[in-house]
Amino acid sequence: MRELLVGADSVTRELCRSGAIRRLKAVVDAPARIVDAALDATTGTEEHAEDELHDTYGGGIVDIVDDGGELRWLLVDGGDVKIVDEHGGRRPWVRSAIPWSAIPAAKDVKAALEAGARAPYQELVELHLYRTVLPGPRESWAALLTAWGLGTYCLDEFAYYPLLLFDGEAERGKTRASKAALWPAYRGLYTPSPSSATLFRDRARHRVTLFLDVEDLPRRLERGGDIGDLVLNSFERDGVIRRCTRPDAEPERQVETFSAYGASIIATNRPILDSSPLASRCIRVSMPEAGRAMVPDAMRPEEASLIRARAVAWVAHVMATGVGLPEVENVPLRGRARDMALPLLRVLASVAPDEVERVTRLLGQVDADRRAEAAISWEARVAVALLDARDRVRAGRLYVEDLA
C-alpha cells in the first residue's frame, strides 16, 4: 500500500482513505486518526498534502489561461503582468480538476494587453441586449448586468457583492439570461444537480461564479441547509461556512471552514418574499414575457472565451497600476441597497462613467419597488395569494404549500 500511494494524486489518496476507514471501524475506536497517520507517512509531511489543494486565486494570481494547450498562471508581479508556469511553488491545477469551462486563451490575453487592456464593456452590453429579453428600460438593465459581470473579476475590491436573481413564471427566459450573465463572468460554473460538498470547495478554492437554477428557492431557504447557507453567505467578503467533514478525525481536524464569498446567479420560478433574508442581498430581475421577440439559443461557455480574455487583461492592468477602481460619492441610496449598488457603480465609474447616473436611477427604482412590496400588509398578501392560486384548487381544496 505504501509503495502505491507514494506520489499518488489527491483523488486516489482520498479513495484509499475512505476505504481503509470503513474496514477499520469494526476493530478500532479512531480509524481516521490511524489512516491519516499512515497517509502522512507516504508524503513526508502534512504540508505537502495541503499544497496539492492550493487556492487558485489571490497573491497576485488573476486567472488561469490556456497557453497552446498548457495551463499557466496569469498574474501581477509588482507593476508587471506575466504568464508563468509556477508562482510561489504553486502550479495550476490539471485541466480535468478545474470545474469551470471558459478558460481564456493566453494569446488573446496578450493581444488585449498590447491593445491597451480595454474592458469589454460595449461587447457585453450588446450581448445582453441581443441574447436576452430584458425588462424595461432595456439599455439600463444591460449596463447594470455588464457592470455586474465585470465586477466578478475584482471581488477583492468590495466588502459586499450582490447576487443576481432572475425570477418569473416558467418559460420567461430566466436560464437564457442567467447563462448570458454567467459565461462572460469570472470562472462561471453551472451544474444542474448541485452537490453542496463540491460547491463549497469550488467556491472556496477557486472563487467561481455560481449559477443555481432552483425551482423553489424560497422553500429551500426556509428549510435551511447547505445550499441556502452558501447563497446567503456569498454576499459578504467575510462570509464563511463551517462544516464537520471528518467526524472520525481528532477534534482539531473535524471541522472545515469554507470561504463562501463570491458572485452568484439564481433563477427561480417562485417569488422571493420581502421577509426572506435573500431579498436584501440580491438585485432582482423580473423577466418579462418575450412576446414576439426572437432570441437566439442560450449562450455556450466557449462563446465567452474572447470576452473572458479581454476582461482578465483589463483587471490585470487595473491591478498592475495599483490604483484600483474609483470611489463613487453621493450615492442616493441607503442601507443594504447602497452596499449592493457601490460595486457596480465603481465598475461603471472606471469603464463607462457616463452610465453611472442611469444605472443609479435604475437601482433606486429597484429598491423602491422592493420597499413598496414589503409595505403591503400581511392580510393583503394572503388575499392576493388566494386569488393567484385559484387554478391550484383540487377537489374543492387549496393546499397550504400551494398558497405559501
User: What percent of the chain shows pLDDT beyond 90?
Assistant: 46
Does residue 400 have a pLDDT over 90?
A: no
Q: Which range has highest mean pLDDT (75-84, 220-229, 266-275)?
A: 75-84
* Averaged pLDDT for residues 109-116: 96
3-state secondary structure of 183: coil
Whether the per-residue pLDDT at 254 is higher than 80: the answer is: yes
- What is the spatial distance between Cα 158 and Cα 143, in angstroms, rounded to a whole number? 19
Per-residue pLDDT at 17 = 65
Task: Kindly report the pTM of this predicted structure.
Answer: 0.79
- Least confident residue range of 44-53, 192-201, 334-343: 44-53
**Residue 9: pLDDT band with limits 50, 70, 90:** low
Mean pLDDT of 333-343: 92
Residue type, 202: D
- 303-329 residue pLDDT tens: 999 999 999 999 999 999 998 999 998
Dist CA 203 CA 4 (whole Å): 31
Does residue 396 carry a pLDDT above 90? no
> How are strands ordered across the β-sheet holding 61-67?
61-67, 70-77, 80-84
Give 378's pLDDT tier (boundaries 50, 70, 90): low
Q: Is residue 215 very low, low, confident or very high in pLDDT (cuts 50, 70, 90)?
A: low
The tens digit of pLDDT for each residue in 257-279 reads 889 999 999 988 777 766 677 88
| CB 234, CB 158: distance < 8 Å | no
